[in-house]
């Protein structure tokens, strides 16, 4: 399956599964001028964060225009991160993605209600969202683009292991698993997973009044808690991890919140 096939396949499934109608898109477009209860200075601050990445964020809901972006996904190298059993495959570029429609930000239609559950026996470093088919068109498009990116990452890893890799240990692991691997995408089993950095210098979650130190401290702590919050995600994709498990080779794709993640509204639930 090549990139054209992927796009045709995903467009077909996306339209059939979600039944996106023209009047739904039209109704969403009518709301783009809403300011979502933000002041002009708060909106300007948000745009400043987004404009920092304006040359690399995918700013379109037209799936075909992702082709050039996706065709550039290539693996630069592999790095042993643990006992010659865990390897990071690093991409030649960092890929930034956000749920932006036609260069415009509409937090009400583009934020995602995500959950983070922390159990102190295990290091938890991700927010998750269960796809339910009731998403706004902007969010649906964002999720659809991630699904396509997942498929392209899987193809890039397969190409690297078959034709470009020179790491004998990694090639042995690949051969030992019958030249196959189990791919766990950024979206898996209808769940979107986005990781955050457990580092106070990298973790920056903003509200309309600035950084939310209380939430940041919770995310960096070892307490037991659950958080539900509406997030406007700007995500970075830059590598995958390969490792052996039960004589199988597993490939985990990862997406991280970038320097900025914006909270819409004041409803942050911490339990």
Kindly list the distances between the CA atom of residue 49 and the CA atoms of 85, 166, 260, in Å, as whole numbers in the listed order: 38, 40, 7
Is it the case that residue 3 has pLDDT exceeding 80?
no
**Domains of the chain: total:** 1
Least confident of 33-37, 93-97, 168-172, 208-212: 33-37
What is the share, in percent, of the chain residues with pLDDT greater than 70?
65
Q: Which of 58-62, 142-146, 181-185 has the highest mean pLDDT?
A: 181-185
Range of the domain at 85: 3-270
Higher-pLDDT residue of 271, 179: 179
Spatial separation of the C-alpha atoms in residues 262 and 260, rounded to whole Å? 6
Q: What is the pLDDT of residue 183?
A: 96
Task: Please choose, from the candidates 11, 261, 268, 25, the residue with its C-alpha nearest in 3D space to the C-alpha of residue 148.
Answer: 11
Residue with tokens 């993640």: 261
* Secondary structure letter of residue 85 according to DSSP: T
Global confidence as pTM: 0.77
CB 246 within 8 A of CB 258: no
Q: Contact at 8 Å (CB) between 202 and 59? A: no
């Amino acid at each position: 399956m090549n990139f054209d096939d992927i796009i045709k396949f995903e467009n077909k499934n996306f339209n059939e599964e979600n039944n996106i109608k023209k009047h739904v898109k039209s109704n969403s477009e009518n709301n783009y001028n809403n300011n979502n209860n933000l002041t002009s200075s708060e909106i300007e601050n948000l745009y400043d964060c987004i404009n920092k990445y304006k040359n690399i964020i995918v700013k379109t809901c037209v799936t075909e225009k992702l082709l050039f972006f996706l065709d550039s996904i290539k693996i630069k190298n592999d790095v042993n991160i643990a006992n010659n059993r865990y390897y990071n495959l690093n991409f030649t570029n960092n890929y930034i993605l956000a749920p932006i429609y036609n260069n415009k930000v509409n937090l009400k239609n583009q934020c995602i209600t995500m959950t983070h559950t922390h159990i102190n026996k295990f290091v938890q470093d991700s927010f998750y969202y269960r796809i339910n088919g009731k998403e706004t068109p902007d969010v649906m498009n964002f999720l659809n683009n991630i699904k396509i990116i997942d498929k392209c990452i899987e193809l890039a890893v397969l190409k690297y292991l078959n034709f470009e890799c020179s790491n004998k240990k990694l090639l042995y692991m690949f051969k030992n698993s019958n030249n196959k691997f189990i791919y766990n995408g950024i979206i898996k089993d209808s769940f979107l997973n986005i990781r955050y950095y457990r580092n106070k210098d990298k973790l920056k979650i903003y509200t309309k009044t600035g950084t939310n130190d209380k939430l940041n401290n919770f995310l960096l702590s070892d307490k037991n808690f659950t958080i539900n919050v509406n997030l406007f995600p700007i995500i970075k994709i830059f590598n995958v991890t390969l490792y052996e498990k039960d004589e199988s080779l597993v490939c985990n794709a990862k997406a991280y919140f970038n320097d900025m993640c914006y909270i819409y509204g004041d409803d942050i639930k911490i339990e």
